[in-house]
Amino acid sequence: MKVLVVNNMAPFVWGGAEELAVNLQKNLIAAGHQSEVLRIPFQWEPATRIPSQMLMVRALELWNVDRVIALKFPAYLIRHPHKTLWLLHQYRQAYDLFDAGQTNLPADQMGSDLRHLIHQADNECFRESRRVFTNSEVTRGRLRKYNGFDAEVLLPPLNDPELFPGGPAKGYIFAGGRINGMKRQHLLLEALAQTPSSIRLLIAGPPDTPADGQKLVDLTARLGLGDRVQLDLRFLPRRVYADYLNGSFAVAYLPFDEDSLGYVAMEAATAGKALITTDDSGGVLGLVKHRQTGWVAEPQPTSLADVMAAVYADSAITHKLGTAARDLWLAMGITWPQTIERLLS
């Protein structure tokens, strides 16, 4: 079967969704299908430019394709008679982030009109799709709440589990992944300033914008944490990233209301590392159970500082929680062959 994976593209930005698309393609081919990834450019700033991009996606016509598996807004608006959605992202700034006051839509009638347009286009797309899967319970709940559509949750498998066998801890808490305000690495720095000086932090990953990276550099300097924090702010080779994670004491990942379990959390669990997150981190909470597989803090520095101190307080407990995180992940039985079978069912 010829299966086209359709995803967005923000030039020179690479994250979990891009990894997922590539690995979906790879595993479709491994399952005996032909597969390619169609990446459609999407620029969400300014928000008033979003409708023209939605229209252009909608105007595309596909030939020589048996199935489409579409992942994100607005790429999933593409027309095809046999389209399956594996929903990673709606345009959250028109939904839950709008309610949370974290939207880039204008605060006027135009903003309301844009929001209505996005909702209507999404609803049309969900109606016309043969199947709708989501990548987490959070995404599923959001879809049900805002659009009235139900979906089956299909958690994304890890793409390269062999890179995360774990290993001896080298004495730091690791915070990996994209660097931006939504991932809240700055909270970890503010928390670290309230912990004993023996605790160290390694933040590594590509900033979305130069300003996102500079903010962490400045904050580290302002809090006088230069000797306790290592910032490796770049797009890391997978091996370097894996070495950082495998050598950590615990892994912190604090996105605001993440849609999915999150690759960072899945990789940490695979490596048997205890996890730190916050109680508003959404899908990540599927893997992080307080004092069972890690710690769930409040999203503010004092609470996080307590948790970071707990990581160092008893290394045996930290190790035990990491092992439990790996057990929980393996028990979920999330593999690519099963995922492909569901997507093409």
Partner 1 sequence: MKLVIFSPATRTSAIGRSTSLVTNALKKSGHTVVVVRSEDTSLLNAEAHDFGVELVPWTKSKQVAQLVRNADSLVYQIGDNFAYHKGCLEWLPHAPGVVCLHDFFLGNLFSGWAQDHMVEALATLRAWYGEDAATAYFGHSATEDFIDATHGVAPLTEWICSMGYGVITHSSWSIQRVLDSCPGPVEVVALAYDAPSAEMLKITASRKDACETFNVLTVGHVNPNKRAESVIRAIGESAVLRSSTTYRLVGNIPADVSGRLASLAKNLQVKLVISGEADAVTLQKAISEAHVVCCLRWPSLEAASASAIEAMLYGKPVIVTDTGFYAELPDACVRKIRPEHEISDLQQALESLHGNESARLALGAQAAEWAAATFRADNYAARLIKVSLATQDAAPMLKATQALAGILRQWEASPSLMTSSDLTEPLRVFNHRQETARDGIAIK
Q: Peptide bond preceding 156: is omega within 30 degrees of 0, i.e. cis?
A: no
- Give the residues across from 170 on adjacent strands: none
Q: What is the CA 246 to chain-centroid distance, rounded?
A: 20
| Closer to partner 1 by Cβ: residue 30 or 59 | 59
Min. distance of Cβ 283 from partner 1 in angstroms?
Answer: 28
| Closer to partner 1 by Cβ: residue 109 or 197 | 109
Min. distance of Cβ 128 from partner 1 in angstroms?
Answer: 11
| Closer to partner 1 by Cβ: residue 127 or 130 | 127
User: Cβ–Cβ contacts within 10 Å for residue 31, how many?
Assistant: 17
Min. distance of Cβ 52 from partner 1 in angstroms?
Answer: 4
Min. distance of Cβ 59 from partner 1 in angstroms?
Answer: 7
Do the beta carbons of residue 135 and residue 88 sit within 8 Å? yes
| Closer to partner 1 by Cβ: residue 51 or 167 | 51
User: Cβ–Cβ contacts within 10 Å for residue 247, how many?
Assistant: 18
Contacts to partner 1 by CB under 8 A: 46, 48-49, 51-56, 58-59, 109-110, 113-114, 116-117, 120-121, 124
| Closer to partner 1 by Cβ: residue 123 or 230 | 123
Min. distance of Cβ 88 from partner 1 in angstroms?
Answer: 22
Min. distance of Cβ 50 from partner 1 in angstroms?
Answer: 9
Give me the torsion for CA of 123, 87, 40, 336, rounded to 10°: -150
- Cα separation, 68 vs 84, in Å, equals 6
- What secondary structure letter does DSSP report for 273? -
Query: Can you point out the beta strands (E) in the chain?
Result: 2-9, 34-41, 67-72, 83-89, 131-134, 152-153, 172-176, 200-204, 229-232, 250-252, 274-278, 294-297
Please spell the DSSP secondary structure of 199-242, one letter per residue: -EEEEES-BSSHHHHHHHHHHHHHTT-TTTEEEE-S---HHHHH
Phi, psi values for residue 3, rounded to 5°: -115, 120
- Cα dist. 236→38, 261, 321 in Å? 24, 21, 27
| Closer to partner 1 by Cβ: residue 51 or 299 | 51
- Cα separation, 306 vs 290, in Å, equals 13
| Closer to partner 1 by Cβ: residue 61 or 162 | 61
- What secondary structure letter does DSSP report for 6? E
Min. distance of Cβ 61 from partner 1 in angstroms?
Answer: 12
| Closer to partner 1 by Cβ: residue 108 or 227 | 108
Min. distance of Cβ 11 from partner 1 in angstroms?
Answer: 16
